Structure 1
Amino acid sequence: MNPLSRRTALQLAAVTGTGLAAASVAGPAAAAPSSSRRMFGHGVASGDPLPTAVVLWTRVTPTAASTPGSGVGPAVTVGWEVATDPRFRRIVRRGSARTGPARDHTVKVDAGGLSPATTYWYRFTAGGTTSPVGRTRTAPAPSARPARLRMAVVSCANLQAGWFTAYRHLAARQDLDVVVHLGDYLYEYAPGEYQARDVVVRPHDPAHEMVTLADYRRRHAQYKTDPDLQALHALAPWVITWDDHESANDAWSGGAENHTEGAEGTWAARRAASQQAYAEWMPVRYTAGGRLYRRLRFGRLASLSMLDLRTYRDRQASSMVDPALDDPDRTLAGPEQLEFLLDGLADPAVQWKLVGNPVMIAPVRFPSTLDGDALRGIATLLDAPVSPSGVPYNVDQWDGYPAERARVLGHLRDRGITDAVFLTGDIHSGWAAELPADASTYPATGDSVGVELVCSSVTSDNLDDILGTPPRTTSLAAETGIRANNPHIKYVDLDSHGFSVLEVTPAGVQMDWFVLVDRTHPDSGAVWSTSFRVPAGSGRVEPAPRRLA
């Protein structure tokens, strides 16, 4: 829509010497002034762009004792400015916000009165200190018809399992309008519980599973000290949702697999703590206890409906033979959110109906012909129960809520809705699939009502990590078997870590997958892996040549 020019990036580097400019031009962030690092050590961020407003975020440390989660320190006033140039010669909006220990010294401002489809720069001030500069961009006007929209798509970033090199490679780009994060922005585990091939690349803080509000605040703070994450936050606005690890593994409305009532307090208290910390630390229009699911529009080209598939869901079934799977009233999204989703899919005002979907919606049947290690590895990857025939079955995703999925896909079919694309994370692997309204007839008819594109994990373990085998070796048989058992699945990569870039145009949607050479190396390279395209009006996904830089 309006990529950052190299001249502007170099100008910004000269002005700020901070993460945005350095990452946009030449890789790792340059050193910020020590006073700025002390006061604004967690960087700056923006999110949820509207045509005339965007959320701005930072965190201040007014005293040495005011550490994240400490609950101590003075209340302070933080100034903010928005300008149309990186030197802040043309300031268009300014204001101030009060913060203190009650909100962990975080600042979140919904800066309004802006112009549509416009690039802005922003910064904060506190105690005579100026923050790093961030760049953001408003969405197009509702009636606009943009020629394209380009977004990064990421999920599943476990700090213990590797370096956030994927974020660094994205921050070096100059063409991103928005970053979409589909969940598992951070992980709840203690050091040694969940990481790369039993090697803790970077231990979590605090050094135990996060349970209390102070724990969640400290863990959010640790992640936001990562320079590559800071650089990507400062480059472009983010649109984010949570999956389970922002609270606890396999969360549902009344509990989680990784929560023990009594020993870890009540689930209600733990979930409230996780949601409060999320509201404080993330650049999102969300207040604790409110509604995270929401929809953003990018003119008439596309809408993006971000889902929350943890807060309202019924408990997961125990297996594929659990009678609960036949209950038509079981819900994943909750009644109100489901109606919100269906309404968005039927919106005639936009062409592409994009859905930020934390867990896979495409049906997946895993082959029973794989060797035992591969099947056990897939079960571990999915954190899934095993059927009587020994085949894993992922009841944590839409497969575990078949009636609700049938309603969504039937809605697309019955209303003749076109150009619905589900963007998905969670499963630590890359997928491209068509969405059959009836999977049993798809092999004969090929009828597809939409498409699902799944990004790989930034760092979190996938199949080769679980099996302890070299990448692209033992997993190949599993991928071949999955495609053979599921003809609607056109691509699957169970091994790679990295990121995706999605381009949306009136003619089609294309996702490019990029994979890291070694997630455990802070200077890892990233290489293009594959591309798939969804031609407009087709409901189909097809291989495509790499088009995106």
Structure 2
Amino acid sequence: MTSAAQPHSPELRAAARHLGRRRFLTVTGAAAALAFATDLPTEGVAAAAELDAHRIKDDPFTLGVASGDPLPSSVLLWTRLAPAPYQPGGGLPKERVTVHWELAHDARFRRVARRGTVTAHPEFNHTVHVEADHLESGRRYYFRFKTGRWVSPTGRTRTAPAPGSRPGALTLAAVSCQAYHDGYFTAYKHLAQDDVDVVFHLGDYLYEYAVNATGGARNYTDRTLPAHFNKETVTLEDYRLRYALYKSDPDLRAAHAAHPFVVTWDDHETENNYADDIDENGNPPAEFLLRRAAAYRAYWENLPLRRPQLPKGPDAQLYRRLTWGRLAQFDILDTRQYRSDQAYGDKAHAPGPESDDPRRTITGATQERWLIDGWRRSRALWNVVPQQVTFSQRKLDLTAQAKLSMDAWDGYRASRERVLAGARSAGLENLMVLTGDVHVGYAFDIKADFDDPASRTLGTEIVATSISSGKDGADKPANWDTYTKANPHLKFYNGRRGYVTVGLGSQSARADFKTVSSVTTPGAPIRTAASFVTEAGDPGLRPA
């Protein structure tokens, strides 16, 4: 695929959707034995017999509860029934199960606000997505699920403020990149106890790589993981089991139970550094689209996403917009599904004709228009863009023709310039980009001309380090001097694991980079490595 080539034809995707609907599918290579349904069974139409929930002998709520995508009068509630989560199917027969849910004003459920029933379908691996509506805006709620004699853990969530309201403050957390085999999710233990309103997950919720019997760097001595985790995820069952492994982590479950999440994917939820229908190994696009369909399906099943994000075969509209009154607008991007193939073989490379072809895109034309049109209509003080890969220029060496990452926005400079031109034309005064991917914490000033430190500052970029990917890391990675000298708009660089919190207020925003000293051993304490402030109407980061 040439650097400026556009995504493959709709006919290819239609073929993948058609194959995906078949109950049994036999193809060669990576897509072997993929089978799934494309739509939730409609009310009154059951694809399986019903299981009497009182026959479930073991706790089915082993993977906890979650909530997400808070709206002013609605929030998404999630759980999965899996009494044996490391087994295919979670230890349940292929029968549907009735699940009861409750949403209350108090943790003891004495003042129930909403309740109902929902069906956990085997076609969706007995996951449950409840769009609880008719709620009060700007309120905290508690929720739980029941089936048979079993009651789930209690979750805590909240709704967004009313449209047009002017909330005084919002505190968000940004997280990314949680390779199970690289260490413990200790940062989530601390995040579960932190006082935040919403968590943005910026990609790499799981990794497709094999996890050995001892959990990789976790080096278990008290348990042995099943052999089916010790291979790369390819089929729908592979991805489902991998989510079960990740969600069995108690710290991840605690964070999901404590706060609503807003999620977007990057590459590893499917396969490393893929671009649209091009994988990293040069497999036929039709074959990769089948793998992508499996990955996208498992992603939707296992995360607190609403029905509009339900995939149709290998396609899913993950980009979407949320608001927090008139304080903030969040435009959540997908920079993986629609992008042109990486230039120069996806190797670090100085910019050139291939990477700078103006036809290249990291968002796709439709999403790019949606983003800029949304900015033009925005009434929010802060316009925040949660997305995946580094947005600001990041020179990797000190030479005159410095290399850049071809997988980040640096490999799509025309795409970045169109987006920044859209921000300028929309009159955005307070643009903030939230980023994951690189397993380090960065704070950037977004410049009109990254090669001219004196040029106008257009916004700020806050890059959240990984939860565990990259293992323990270091406060000053080996390339710290090089990066800070080569990029004067880089105001902070730290290589430890953790997360970042951002407090948005009517006058300013504050970013606190929080890190742990170790993830290869559990229980490390957390500290604030650095804090920065940017003033409303005066973009640019300053130490707090």
TM-score range, shorter chain: 0.7 to 0.9
Name the aligned partner's letter for residue 220 of structure 1: Y
TM superposition score normalised by structure 1: 0.82
Give the secondary-structure state (helix, strand or coil) at the position aligned to 2:162.
Answer: coil
Cα distance, 1:346 vs. partner?
Answer: 2.9
Change (3 A) 1:512 1:36: farther
- Do the aligned residues in 2 keep the contact of 1:345 with 1:420 (CA within 8 Å)? no
Which residue in the other structure is 2:21 paired with? none
Give the secondary-structure state (helix, strand or coil) at the position aligned to 1:78.
Answer: strand
For 1:131-146, what aligned pairs fall within 5 Å after superposition? Answer: 131-146=152-167
- Do the aligned residues in 2 keep the contact of 1:294 with 1:306 (CA within 8 Å)? yes
Cα distance, 1:65 vs. partner?
Answer: 10
- Do the aligned residues in 2 keep the contact of 1:65 with 1:72 (CA within 8 Å)? no
Cα distance, 1:426 vs. partner?
Answer: 0.5
5+ long unaligned stretches in structure 2:
1-55
Cα distance, 1:265 vs. partner?
Answer: 8.2
Name the aligned partner's letter for residue 113 of structure 1: H
Cα distance, 1:452 vs. partner?
Answer: 0.5
More deviation in 394-403 or 71-80? 71-80
Name the aligned partner's letter for residue 457 of structure 1: S
Matched, 1:186 2:197: no
Which residue in the other structure is 2:101 paired with? 80
Change (3 A) 1:134 1:250: same
Change (3 A) 1:222 1:303: same
Which residue in the other structure is 2:327 paired with? 301
Which residue in the other structure is 1:18 paired with? none
- Cα distance in structure 2, aligned partners of 1:482 and 1:473: 11
Which of 447, 451, 459 is the aligned partner of 2:456? 447
- Do the aligned residues in 2 keep the contact of 1:47 with 1:55 (CA within 8 Å)? yes
Change (3 A) 1:425 1:321: closer
Cα distance, 1:327 vs. partner?
Answer: 1.6
Which residue in the other structure is 1:282 paired with? 303
- Spell out, residue by residue over 1:324-372, the C-alpha distance to the aligned partner (whole angstroms, 9 max, x if none): 2232111110111111211233334111001002111101112247xxx
Change (3 A) 1:200 1:228: closer
- Spell out, residue by residue over 1:196-241, the C-alpha distance to the aligned partner (whole angstroms, 9 max, x if none): 8xx4646796210000000000001111111111111001110110
Cα distance, 1:411 vs. partner?
Answer: 2.1
Which residue in the other structure is 2:36 paired with? none
TM superposition score normalised by structure 2: 0.82
Cα distance, 1:125 vs. partner?
Answer: 0.9
Matched, 1:226 2:277: no
Which of 448, 465, 488 is the aligned partner of 1:456? 465
- Spell out, residue by residue over 1:50-86, the C-alpha distance to the aligned partner (whole angstroms, 9 max, x if none): 0000000001136899744789432111111111111
Which residue in the other structure is 1:352 paired with? 382
Matched, 1:538 2:538: yes
- Cα distance in structure 2, aligned partners of 1:182 and 1:509: 19
5+ long unaligned stretches in structure 1:
1-34, 370-386, 466-470, 545-549
- Cα distance in structure 2, aligned partners of 1:70 and 1:37: 9
Change (3 A) 1:206 1:322: farther
Name the aligned partner's letter for residue 397 of structure 2: P
Matched, 1:252 2:261: no
- Cα distance in structure 1, aligned partners of 2:164 and 2:476: 49
Change (3 A) 1:37 1:405: farther
Give the secondary-structure state (helix, strand or coil) at the position aligned to 2:188.
Answer: helix
Which residue in the other structure is 2:283 paired with? 261
- Spell out, residue by residue over 1:135-167, the C-alpha distance to the aligned partner (whole angstroms, 9 max, x if none): 110000011111110111110111110100000
Change (3 A) 1:313 1:64: closer
Which residue in the other structure is 2:499 paired with? 499
Which residue in the other structure is 2:32 paired with? none
- Cα distance in structure 2, aligned partners of 1:144 and 1:293: 24
Q: Figure out how many residues of one structure are paired with residues of the other and give that number.
A: 474
Change (3 A) 1:64 1:392: closer
- Cα distance in structure 2, aligned partners of 1:143 and 1:329: 38
Which of 343, 353, 370 is the aligned partner of 2:373? 343
Give the secondary-structure state (helix, strand or coil) at the position aligned to 1:534.
Answer: strand
Which of 161, 170, 175 is the aligned partner of 1:149? 170
User: Alpha carbon RMSD of aligned pairs, Å?
Assistant: 2.5
Change (3 A) 1:531 1:265: same
Which residue in the other structure is 1:512 paired with? 512
- Spell out, residue by residue over 1:447-481, the C-alpha distance to the aligned partner (whole angstroms, 9 max, x if none): 1111101111111117x85xxxxx34662xx2222
More deviation in 323-332 or 447-456? 323-332
Q: Which stretches of structure 1, 4 residues or longer, exceed 6 Å deviation after superposition?
A: 62-66
Which residue in the other structure is 1:29 paired with? none
Which residue in the other structure is 1:362 paired with? 392
Give the secondary-structure state (helix, strand or coil) at the position aligned to 1:413.
Answer: helix
Which residue in the other structure is 2:409 paired with? 398
